[in-house]
Amino acid sequence: MRRAGGRGSRPGHGSDRRYRRPVTRLDLLADPVDLCAALVDTPSVSGDEAGLADAVQAALGEQAPHLEVLRSGDAVLARTRLGREHRVLLAGHLDTVPIADNLPSRREGHLLHGCGTSDMKAGVATIAHLAAAVAQPRHDVTFVFYDCEEVEAERNGLGRIERDHRDWLVADLAILGEPTNAGVEAGCQGTLRAEITTRGHRAHSARSWLGDNAIHAATPVLQRLAAYTARDVDIDGCVYREGLQAVRIAGGVAGNVVPDECVVTVNFRFAPDRDAAAAERHVREVFDGFDLALTDLSPGALPGLTAPAAAEFVAATGAAPSAKYGWTDVSRFAALGIPALNYGPGDPNLAHTREEHVDTRQITEAVDVLRRFLS
Amino acid sequence: MRRAGGRGSRPGHGSDRRYRRPVTRLDLLADPVDLCAALVDTPSVSGDEAGLADAVQAALGEQAPHLEVLRSGDAVLARTRLGREHRVLLAGHLDTVPIADNLPSRREGHLLHGCGTSDMKAGVATIAHLAAAVAQPRHDVTFVFYDCEEVEAERNGLGRIERDHRDWLVADLAILGEPTNAGVEAGCQGTLRAEITTRGHRAHSARSWLGDNAIHAATPVLQRLAAYTARDVDIDGCVYREGLQAVRIAGGVAGNVVPDECVVTVNFRFAPDRDAAAAERHVREVFDGFDLALTDLSPGALPGLTAPAAAEFVAATGAAPSAKYGWTDVSRFAALGIPALNYGPGDPNLAHTREEHVDTRQITEAVDVLRRFLS
């Protein structure tokens, strides 16, 4: 699940490769819960996934000899070539948000605590285990372990793979192992960010009548936000709840100056019945009359559950699908015309929190469901 | 005229004394316009006034042997002890706001450009010239050249002098050479700063209904500011215009997080008919129901023009006094029970601007008026 877009979200640059530690050995065929703990204890903050990518690549080479393996930057891809009628793609990102005093991992009954447990090393463990464990799957399978999902869209490893190895992304269904509490979350909402700038005229605050206060001028922007009523949209039985929120406000020059600029940054999360252009049009209407600059726009994805392979997988889970709220790379596959859904262990509400953890029973359940689907 | 109060206004720490350049020679008896240029070309940003204080101290010692001189930190004081009935105190601060690509000084017809020309080296030149030129004044005179007026109140050199050398501040009238376009500006407005904090509850912006947006919650704060009607108050024929302005707003955690805190910093400039407590009470009333924390409060000063020495000086200028809007150290003298007013060359509206300059004819005029008053 992607972290903040926009500025300032570039933690680390992966420049320490000269000092890389020896490759961690991962046992893909062990209990996937143990595998998850081993993945969590190999830190891989966005930009610093090289060590973990090395470990995954080495483990696949050694423990899954039936797979063709490809390295792309700090992503590792693997696939069967069994000539099956359908191909399923299972994908998970290797990177995490910055560590928040929550490593190494720690077990407490059924819970495994630590950075990345939920988002999404539990999903990566599930997928990596199946890569080694199911040597003769019913469908051909492509496994994608990629880098830089938690940062700006232009750094996303899946985007690089799409540019450099487009043939590796061909599939009839893509399943992203993002945290969904081991239920199918279909499609995803789109996300738009914009800066609304109000302007005024500087003056010394002791002679404020000579100025024009840009912060005061932002009042109607906040009024419109506070009064905004968000839609709930039902698509294929999945309800998407939209939201329009100020995520930042900044204005001010000095303690004695009437400020001449104030910027309100808003984030619009929109249901996939709006495309990118419609989402932009809507936000511009809401803030009609104001100077609005778009800073980030990622389209959503329709649920796509009517595709046969998707319907088959939903049936294998034995539960009703629901809407995905967070933006995920599902929309990237949707844009490539590949039906895609989110399915993985872990609570999405714990993603990016200091208290991040996963209920290990969900890992076991997800492995069982996917194994059934593939066997 | 004091710069922004509160945080972050500590430019330089005056720690480079080991590397101080040789003492600049100032010619106090030369044309005060040339003296002003020499003062401007000896940079003295708050905290780094040592070089200029050295130069003033050396010049007084050499060119005004009739004065008793005292050094206090980076302030220089001098006084006559002629046993006159009244004592007049002339004060000016040596420091300037940070240089803004506007040094060295530059002349253009009647204008002298550069950092500190208006605020307030033109006033300092006027006072320093008179210190040397009028050896037998009609009133006893105390000259105060002090440091750190442009920064936080607790660093103000006049405050230190008040604590360490209270006897040097005894006077029947204090004239501050702050820029007033060479007219009497009486009293000064008070200034109050407060932070109004709205709180909410964080959530991922994709599930904004789980959160409570603190920026949206700031809407009524801005509404009250935008709707506020400021008073005009007439005191002794001087009209004080109040103002209540947001000078800063800040909120936001990340581009995908519903923020849980937003802080609006307001600055209230109030007429001297309100004391500090009344000003605070008023601002708390305006923002009733909100969490408000006072960060800065300096009382104003009543015009005090009914005091005999003040009335005599006003008569010497030959013009009607007006209200001072900016906060100045006049209020410090008022608190000591000393009638005080602002009178100096320079346009207060140019203070702290990149385009700062002074009309040199005002320097000549101010020197003439003060010389007449003292001779």
CATH code for position B289 = 3.30.70.360
Q: Cα A16 vs. chain centroid, distance in angstroms?
A: 25
On chain B, the residues whose CB falls within 8 A of the CB of A210 are: 349
Contact of A205 with chain B, judged by CB distance below 8 Å, is answered with yes
Interchain proximity B249–A218, CB inside 8 Å: yes
Query: Does the pLDDT at position A31 exceed 60?
Result: yes
How many residues make up chain A in this entry? Answer: 375
On chain A, the residues whose CB falls within 8 A of the CB of B215 are: 222, 225, 246-249, 264
Q: Among B252, B269, B298, give the residue marking a domain's end.
A: B298
Mean of all residue pLDDT scores within chain A: 92
Contact B339, B304 (CB under 8 A): yes
Do B83 and B232 fall into the same domain? no
ipTM value: 0.76
On chain B, the residues whose CB falls within 8 A of the CB of A352 are: 204
Tokens representing residue B3 in the block? 């710069």
From B250's Cα to the closest Cα of chain A, the distance in A is 5
Per-residue pLDDT of chain B (375 residues; tens, 9 = 90+): 665 444 333 444 444 445 555 788 999 999 999 999 999 999 999 999 999 999 999 999 999 999 999 999 999 999 999 999 999 999 999 999 989 889 999 999 999 999 999 999 999 999 999 999 999 999 999 999 999 999 888 899 999 999 999 999 999 999 999 999 999 999 889 999 999 999 999 888 988 999 999 999 999 999 999 999 999 999 988 899 999 999 999 999 889 889 999 999 999 999 999 999 999 999 999 999 999 999 999 899 988 888 888 999 999 998 899 988 888 899 899 889 999 999 999 998 898 888 999 999 999 999 999 999 999
Do A166 and A241 fall into the same domain? no
Most B CBs within 10 A among A216, A225, A270, A325, hence the mutation to make, goes to A216
Q: Among A267, A298, A329, give the residue marking a domain's end.
A: A298
Query: Does the pLDDT at position A18 exceed 70?
Result: no
Contact B93, B150 (CB under 8 A): yes
Residue of chain B minimizing CA distance to A270: B206
Interchain proximity B247–A258, CB inside 8 Å: yes
Q: Could you tell me which residues come within 8 angstroms of residue B155 by beta carbon, excluding any fewer than 6 positions away?
A: B10, B46, B47, B148
Do A279 and A212 fall into the same domain? yes
Contact of B225 with chain A, judged by CB distance below 8 Å, is answered with yes
pLDDT band at A326 (very low <50, low <70, confident <90, very high): confident
A103-107, A220-224, B116-120, B309-313: least confidently modelled range: B309-313
- Domain limits at B202? 190-298
From A358's Cα to the closest Cα of chain B, the distance in A is 18
Q: What is the pLDDT, as a whole number, of residue A9?
A: 38
Interchain proximity A207–B265, CB inside 8 Å: no
In the three-class reduction of DSSP (H, G, I as helix; E, B as strand; rest coil), residue B257 is classed as strand
Do B54 and B138 fall into the same domain? yes
Do B161 and B279 fall into the same domain? no
Do B235 and B219 fall into the same domain? yes
Alpha-carbon Rg for chain A, nearest whole angstrom, is: 23
What pTM was computed for the model? 0.76
Q: What is the pLDDT, as a whole number, of residue B291?
A: 98
Q: What is the pLDDT, as a whole number, of residue A360?
A: 98
Do A338 and A254 fall into the same domain? no
Contact of A61 with chain B, judged by CB distance below 8 Å, is answered with no
Q: What is the pLDDT of residues A266-321, one digit of tens each?
A: 999 999 999 999 999 999 999 999 999 999 998 999 888 888 889 999 999 988 99
Q: What is the pLDDT, as a whole number, of residue A12?
A: 41
Quickly count: other Cβ atoms within 10 Å of residue A31's Cβ: 15
Return d(Cα B150, Cα B327) in angstroms, integer: 11
Do B133 and B230 fall into the same domain? no
From B206, B219, B241, residue closest to A222, measured CB to CB: B219
From B209, B218, B247, residue closest to A222, measured CB to CB: B218
Q: What is the pLDDT, as a whole number, of residue B14?
A: 42
Interchain proximity A208–B191, CB inside 8 Å: no
Query: Which range, A21-30, A217-226, B180-189, B201-210, has the best average confidence (pLDDT)?
Result: A217-226
Residue of chain A minimizing CA distance to B221: A219
Interchain proximity B206–A191, CB inside 8 Å: yes
CATH code, domain with B346: 3.40.630.10
Contact of A10 with chain B, judged by CB distance below 8 Å, is answered with no
Contact of B277 with chain A, judged by CB distance below 8 Å, is answered with no
What is the average per-residue pLDDT within A245-268?
95
Number of domains in chain A: 2
Q: What is the pLDDT, as a whole number, of residue A8?
A: 38
Do B133 and B24 fall into the same domain? yes
On chain A, the residues whose CB falls within 8 A of the CB of B5 are: 255-256
DSSP letter assigned to residue B337: T
Do B35 and B169 fall into the same domain? yes
Contact of A229 with chain B, judged by CB distance below 8 Å, is answered with no
Return d(Cα B190, Cα B181) in angstroms, integer: 21
Return d(Cα A91, Cα A329) in angstroms, integer: 9
Contact of A240 with chain B, judged by CB distance below 8 Å, is answered with no
Contact of B70 with chain A, judged by CB distance below 8 Å, is answered with no
Q: Could you tell me which residues come within 8 angstroms of residue B225 by beta carbon, excluding any fewer than 6 positions away?
A: A213, A215, A216, A219, B244, B245, B246, B264, B266
Contact of A253 with chain B, judged by CB distance below 8 Å, is answered with yes
Q: Which of residues 311-350 of A touch B (CB under 8 A)?
A: 325-327, 349
From B207, B216, B326, residue closest to A225, measured CB to CB: B216
Residue listed under structure tokens 């900044």:
A250
Do A248 and A260 fall into the same domain? yes
In the three-class reduction of DSSP (H, G, I as helix; E, B as strand; rest coil), residue A111 is classed as strand
Interchain proximity B205–A250, CB inside 8 Å: no
What is the average per-residue pLDDT within A226-240?
93
Do A227 and A267 fall into the same domain? yes
Q: What is the pLDDT, as a whole number, of residue B10?
A: 40
What is the average per-residue pLDDT within A221-234?
97
Q: What is the pLDDT of residues A42-86, one digit of tens each?
A: 999 999 999 999 999 999 999 999 999 999 999 999 999 999 999
Q: What is the pLDDT, as a whole number, of residue B204?
A: 86
Most B CBs within 10 A among A256, A267, A328, hence the mutation to make, goes to A256
Give the residue with greater pLDDT, A352 vs A168: A168
Query: Does the pLDDT at position A5 exceed 80?
Result: no
From A193, A225, A250, residue closest to B250, measured CB to CB: A250
A149 is catalytic: yes
Element (H, E) at A253: none
Return d(Cα B198, Cα B179) in angstroms, integer: 39
Q: Among A298, A329, A347, give the residue marking a domain's end.
A: A298
On chain B, the residues whose CB falls within 8 A of the CB of A250 are: 249-250, 252
Q: What is the pLDDT, as a whole number, of residue A100?
A: 87
On chain B, the residues whose CB falls within 8 A of the CB of A267 are: 205, 255-256
A31 is catalytic: no
